[in-house]
Amino acid sequence: MGPHGYFRATRHPWSGLLFVLPLLAIYETGLLALTRGAANGNDSLRTGADTWLRWALANLGLAGLLWTPVLLVGLLFFWALCRRNDRPATGFLTLLGGMTVESLLFAAGLWALSQSFFPLLESVGLRVATASPAGPAAPAAPTLEHFIGYVGAGIYEEALFRLFLLSGLIWLLRLLEFPALWAMLLAAAASALAFAAAHNLGPHGEPFNEHIFLFRTVAGLYFAVLFHMRGFGVAVGAHTGYDMFVGILT
């Protein structure tokens, strides 16, 4: 199989499902193990996007630990089933190995951008308070709890802001007869702004900082391009890898 076959294969929903399944298992079983016997369960350790999705499902009468991952897997499986006629014939290990390498490379690229972002703003005359564009730094020695959280953020933030919001906005704009390019650009911008703003909402939201907000908008655009060009699995992997780089290296 040539490189073009591989690059097409990674964008197929079947590839995204296979890549995300083990990460989802790590997150959900990790939370159960970390909170075994806790009076309040594992809700306090769940990521923001996961919590919002669970809240939305609970209001639809689908409360429970398993509904969110089951419905996400079900959606990806249904999407893959609808495209079963062009399902990739790539070897399992080749496909997932390549997607893992890509995820790490794209994560490293975004982390490098995060390290140069504030100096770049200052170079064009903007006064920037000392801070990390990724937000408050993780502890010097991140715990297992933090790594589990990074995995959850990668999965559910990409599901919420790219798989659902970005795709839904593109569909809506195309329905309104926007040209394909404009639909993609407007949807990417809107989903990126929503992604950035979400970090300042709710009881655990961070204080607003315009420069961090700007970086997160850029990161949202970065993940939107990855989702569109490289597929859901690579976007999830890159997001998870980036959060881990931030936790370890900053």
Q: How confident is the model at residue 85 (pLDDT cuts 50, 70, 90)?
A: confident
The span from the CA of 170 to the CA of 173, in Å, is: 5
The span from the CA of 55 to the CA of 98, in Å, is: 35
Contact between 241 and 219 (Cβ < 8 Å):
no
**What is the predicted pLDDT for the residue at 77?**
93
Note the pLDDT tens digit of each residue in 57-68.
888 877 776 788
Length of the chain: 250
**What is the predicted pLDDT for the residue at 168?**
96
The percent of residues in the chain predicted with pLDDT above 90, rounded, is 49
CA dihedral 242, 244, 248, 250 (to 10 degrees): 40
Name the H helices within 83-201. Answer: 92-123, 144-158, 167-175, 180-198
Domain that holds residue 225: 3-249
Average pLDDT, integer, range 26-51 = 73
**What is the predicted pLDDT for the residue at 133?**
63
**What is the predicted pLDDT for the residue at 202?**
67
Number of structural domains, the chain? 1
**Predicted structure pTM score:** 0.88
Which of 136-140, 158-162, 185-189, 212-216 shows the lowest per-residue confidence on average (mean pLDDT)? 136-140
Give the up-direction half-sphere exposure of residue 31: CA atoms within 13 A in the CB hemisphere: 22
Note the pLDDT tens digit of each residue in 89-118.
777 788 899 999 999 999 999 999 998 888
Does pLDDT of 131 surpass 70? no
Q: How confident is the model at residue 17 (pLDDT cuts 50, 70, 90)?
A: very high
